Chain A
Amino acid sequence: MAIVQEQAAAELGSRHGPSRPFTLGYGRWWWALPAVALVVFMVYVTTAAGAFYAFTDWTGIGSWNFVGLNNFKKIFQNPEMIRSLVNTLVLAFGFLLFTNIFGLLFALALNRGLKSRYVLRMLLFMPVVIAPIAVSYVWKFIFAYKGPLNQTLAALGLESWQRDWLAEPKLALLTVLIVMVWQNIGFVMVIYLAGLATVPVDLEEAAALDGAGTFDRFRRITIPMIQPSIAIATTLMLIQGLRIFDQVLALTGGGPAGATETLATQVYKHSFVFGNFGFGASLALVLSLLILVFTLIQQWATRDRL
């Protein structure tokens, strides 16, 4: 059998000239060209065109003038935009932190042992499949001044705890963060469950027999072995947190008085509500660069672990 294969390979090689060794191939590079061209045009060229408008005063209709870096100067000289940038970072890092902490805790709790773990995993994952905008409107109803949350507090005799949750500046940002975290815990939990499945049980048992406590086993065996999951979960949550839009728009509309505005909501307002497409494009470029920089830092911090 092996002799026949060698002969066939030799014959095939002779047809293509003696200098070319036989290699197994699945196609030619140019077969991918239509798809590559489509991606280049539909994604990169349009993105570059959008980025170009960041240096213009285009209103979204008619002609435009090249304004250099003026739009970017306006961003960094405007306290409202700086506040939006700060809100974006607060929400992104809060989201990153809390989704990962709670996601990991739920994954550890539901990894093995518990009989009802499959049902509980499903229940925790269910919010992930609902559209963020729908989830946000449900929570808006819950947080409304005369909504179920305040009514429940009143029923429990806790009237002093009642708040106008979406209208108090500090609480409003927190409520947005709560809704974001609530919806995405299940997603992070699934990533960590996949990671925990790679941790050998016998390794943990051996460590336990050697006298390692629960926390020691978690710190010295589990955490190192789920590093790839940590890298993926933190990267995805950071990107998702930085581009937060739906939840803010549905819950607070950026209010009260701009207290929950983010870069993404400002992009929307300036580009499509106020007709300042050029300025909106410059905000979008800043947001994109922010995501790029933080993602690169994230990748560097978790290098060799993916």
Chain B
Amino acid sequence: MRLSIDRHRRRAVAVALPLAAGLLLAGCGGSSNSGGSNGAEPQSITLTFASANTTEMAFDDLAKAYMAAHPGVEIKTNRIALDGYNQALSTQMQAGNGPDVMYINAGSGQAASIGQFGKAGLLLELDKSVAADIPDAQMEGYTYQDKLLGLPSATIVDGVIYNDVLAQQSGVKITATSTLNGITDQCAAVKATGKSIFGLAGSVPANNGILAAQLATSTVYGPNPNWNQDRTDGKTTFADTPGWQQALQSVVDLNNAGCFQDGAAGAGFDALTNGSSTGQFFGFFAPSGATKDIMDAAGGAVTLVALGMPAPQGTESLLTVSANQGLAGNAKTQSPKLVADFLKFSVSPEPAKAFAASQGSIPVGKINAADLLPQYKPVADQLVAEEYRPFAVDGWPNGQVYDALGTGVTGLLTGQNSVNDVLASMDSAWG
């Protein structure tokens, strides 16, 4: 009998202790709602943003500008390194302790994006009137199920970061009106001098992807701006679209013509940094905001411009414009009116202009030549004339499609894949 009681006690202790620990842990993890009890919104909010460059002050300056225009409001900014941002923000939002306002990616391709957070009901719905003056191309990926859930912070050209001065010293001339064939014709002569026209980080799927997506802007989305919707509706596939085959074949042609540096297939971003700083190539594929970062870092020693990637023969060259980095509000914020007003402020003309100047990008909204920084001069006419399409990837359903494109291009460079293999894998990733 005594033995039986001891067993019961042991079992009780064995169950009770973990249970108590579990309850304690659950208590620690519970959310605390410390909202104002008088119904008035708290006038202090938090803004979390990602930054790869610790000297970039665009979001801090935006917060300061709002506080200066709205006395009594406090915006606490929180910078998180870009490489860990998606995971950090997702964890915070899932735990219910996310910021009031957050930097967010448009579309559904990344973990911390409008599509993923929107699906989980984590974002504050905004009045569509705040985006009335923003062109559709810049609003790609900011709605989910017809709800406006975020706003772009700035616009960039996904194109070529180009050192025209250096190129002309080597007798290379590329302008906004150049054709792809015009470029490939010059590659062999440049290669003979030990240099190349383009640098490519071929081991980085995102760098390959930006090149291929630029080409597809002209070959696919130029003729059919609604291609993404057609793909979603099952009316077409990557493999069945001649424009996609042409875009990827153009990558193969550029490689065969020697337009990329030696060892491009295995190169990382370090190769781009080293190669561009030592003049081994004249341009590389990146968002145009990088022009300012590099010129600032060089202390004015280099002058870079943004160019679009020319289209293959017989196709109109269009720019790839992206506004996929923006701001969104937290659905659980205790200051929804303040958050909505701050987001509206961020896309109003003067703050947007100041933000773009600080970041080296193009102000959100209708593009005016007078608002463009000097590095956008070669593409100014195309931007003003709206000869562009949105970055197609922002309308894709998940990040695996873009990864399949990027890794597929590596395979094209190494000979592991054919164009049809890559397109088939993109169709498979689309789901």
- A residues with CB within 8 A of B: 30, 33-34, 37-38, 40-41, 59-63, 140, 144-146, 164-169, 172, 252-259, 269, 272-276
Contact = CB atoms under 8 A, between A and B. Distances in A.
B263 A274 contact: no
Given A63-B120, A144-B266, A272-B111, A257 B93 contact: no
A111 B174 CA distance: 66
Contacts of A59: 111, 116, 119-120
A256 B120 contact: no
Interface in B238-296: 262-263, 265-268, 271
B265 A61 contact: no
A133 B417 CA distance: 29
13 contacts: A40-B18, A62-B94, A62-B119, A63-B120, A146-B263, A167-B410, A167-B414, A169-B416, A255-B407, A257-B407, A257-B417, A272-B86, A274-B399
* Chain A contact residues, majority secondary structure: loop
A51 B162 CA distance: 49
B144 to A, nearest CB: 12
A166 B267 CA distance: 9
B414 A60 contact: no
Interface in B322-340: none
B205 to A, nearest CB: 8
Nearest to B263: A145
* Chain B contact residues, majority secondary structure: helix
A144 B263 CA distance: 8
Contacts of A255: 203, 205, 407, 410
B111 A61 contact: yes
Contacts of A258: 407, 411
Given A30-B13, A145-B267, A273-B399, A167 B262 contact: no
Give the most central of A165, A256, A259: most B CB within 10 Å: A256
Q: Give 10 closest A-B pairs by Cβ, nearest first.
A: A145-B263, A62-B120, A167-B266, A257-B411, A167-B265, A275-B111, A166-B266, A37-B18, A257-B416, A257-B410
A103 B411 CA distance: 36
B402 to A, nearest CB: 10
B398 interface: yes
Interface string B390-425: 000000001110010001101101101100000000
